[in-house]
């Protein structure tokens, strides 16, 4: 089964062609990072205009790389939400146009399901599993007993991890998106600032990162007022140690509590080397899966794979009345 995947929920225009939920024939990604860098974050209006400009070229490139024809496609899978509404609409309308032109079935995919199913490209997803989903907009702990069965057990009460990374990077003068820069510098420093670890003492699997973010901001301001230099490498290391300790320990604690052996990590922050190293160090005995970096951040291959499994689990198709949704729940009530 050949699935065409389309992703445009934020600042990446991506089109992929994937065979049988596994074999990635093409995964073309046009990133707008350079465009938004000067603003210090994604500007929604600029993002949607750029998607309009790029989408046809990214389509053409994907078919060229995969060496297949539009008529060969069996299913069109598109991110229908959540995300920036103007950006999502470009992908959804491109998908509907393709579906209409070539008379192909279409299925709307949840962006977070896409991130989770990035793990099915290089590994086999074994159930039950605990998924730690960490991105620019989300931080969630999810239990899956089978394909497309999501139980959200914990989530952030304030900032998402990626958001905290990007804000901390900004405070110490690193470019957007800050996560990869903080990760790189963290490996050059030491945990000398001993920032707080926020576990929440309510027995839940929720997270909170706004206090940690404020601790970094206050520390940087206090040092500046005293005319002292911030050791950026040490601050990045201290921040990363605090974040990864909480993420890894809470994930493992949930897996132990539910007697689950399989752990997967998903979303842009799953590209973080410190997180991977800590999972390897502390996750002894668990079967831990983290996608390669190219499948961690937004891409259409993960949407094609999620679309494939969604269709296999429940072959309910969308139709041309499908609309983009900025705030779509992963679990329907």
By the criterion CB under 6 A, which residues form the site for ligand KG4?
10, 135-137, 162, 165-166, 177-180, 183, 267-269, 271-272, 297-298
Please name which of 155, 154, 115 lies closest in space to residue 270, comparing C-alpha atoms: 115
The least distance separating ligand KG4 from the CB of residue 305, rounded to whole angstroms, comes to 15
User: Phi then psi for 110, rounded to 5 degrees?
Assistant: -75, 135
Q: Cβ of residue 240: shortest distance to ligand KG4, in angstroms?
A: 8
Show the CA angle centred on residue 329, arms to residues 327 and 331, nearest 5°: 180
- Closer of 95 and 290 to ligand KG4 (Cβ): 290
| Least distance CB 261 / ligand KG4 (angstroms) | 26
Residue 268 CB, shortest distance to ligand KG4, in Å, is 2
Give the residue with the Cβ less far from ligand KG4, 114 or 307: 114
**168/260 with CB nearer ligand KG4:** 168
Specify the residue, 98 or 117, whose C-beta has the smaller distance to ligand KG4. 117
Q: What single DSSP character describes residue 229? A: P
Q: Based on CB atoms, which residue is closest to ligand KG4, 164 or 252? A: 164
Q: What are phi and psi of 39, to 5 degrees?
A: -95, -10
Residue closer to ligand KG4 by CB (options 99, 233) is 233
Count Cβ atoms below 10 Å from residue 148 Cβ, excluding itself.
16
In the complex, minimum distance from the CB of residue 177 to ligand KG4, in angstroms, rounded to a whole number: 4
Give whichever of 16 and 73 is closer to ligand KG4, judged by the CB atom.
16
> Residue 199 and residue 231: Cα distance in Å, rounded?
26
Closest CB 115 distance from ligand KG4, rounded Å: 6
Q: Provide the minimum distance between the beta carbon of 118 and ligand KG4 in the complex, in angstroms, as a whole number.
A: 9
Q: Is 52 exposed, middle or buried (0-12, 13-18, 19+ CB in 10 A)?
A: middle
Give the CA-trace dihedral at 40, 45, 47, 53, to 10 degrees. -140
Which residue(s) pair with 265 in the sheet?
A: 132
188's enclosing H/E stretch is none
Determine how many CB atoms are found less than 10 A away from the CB of residue 97. Answer: 15
Quote the Cα angle for 134-77-312, to 5°. Answer: 90
Chain centroid, CA 84 distance in Å: 14
């Amino acid at each position: 089964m050949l699935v065409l995947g389309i992703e445009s929920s934020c600042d990446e225009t991506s089109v992929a062609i994937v065979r049988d939920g596994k074999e990635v024939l093409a995964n073309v990604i046009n990133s707008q990072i350079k465009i938004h860098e000067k603003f210090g974050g994604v500007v929604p209006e600029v993002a949607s205009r750029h998607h309009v400009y790029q989408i046809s070229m990214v389509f053409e490139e994907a078919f060229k790389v995969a060496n297949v024809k539009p008529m060969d496609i069996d299913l069109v899978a598109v991110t229908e939400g959540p995300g920036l509404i103007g950006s999502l609409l470009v992908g959804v309308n491109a998908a509907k146009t393709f579906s209409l032109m070539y008379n192909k079935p279409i299925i709307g995919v949840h962006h977070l399901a896409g991130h989770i199913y990035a793990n099915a490209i290089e590994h086999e997803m074994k159930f039950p599993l605990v998924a730690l989903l960490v991105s620019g907009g989300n931080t969630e702990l999810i239990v899956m007993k089978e394909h497309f069965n999501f139980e959200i057990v914990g989530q952030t009460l304030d900032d998402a991890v990626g958001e905290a990374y990007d804000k901390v990077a900004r405070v110490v003068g690193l470019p957007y998106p800050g996560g990869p820069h903080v990760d790189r510098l963290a490996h050059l420093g030491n945990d000398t600032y001993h920032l707080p670890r926020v576990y929440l003492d309510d027995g839940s699997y929720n997270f909170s990162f706004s206090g940690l973010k404020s601790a970094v901001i206050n520390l940087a301001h206090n040092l500046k007022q005293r005319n002292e230099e911030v050791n950026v490498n040490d601050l990045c290391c201290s921040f990363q140690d605090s974040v990864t300790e909480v993420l890894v320990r809470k994930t493992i604690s949930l897996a132990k509590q539910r007697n689950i052996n399989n752990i997967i990590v998903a979303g842009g922050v799953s590209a973080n080397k410190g997180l991977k190293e800590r999972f390897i160090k502390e996750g002894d005995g668990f079967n831990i899966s983290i996608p390669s970096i190219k499948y961690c951040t937004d891409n259409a291959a993960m949407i094609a794979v999620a679309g494939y499994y969604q269709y296999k689990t429940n072959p309910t198709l969308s139709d041309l009345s499908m609309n983009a949704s900025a705030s779509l729940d992963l679990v329907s009530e």
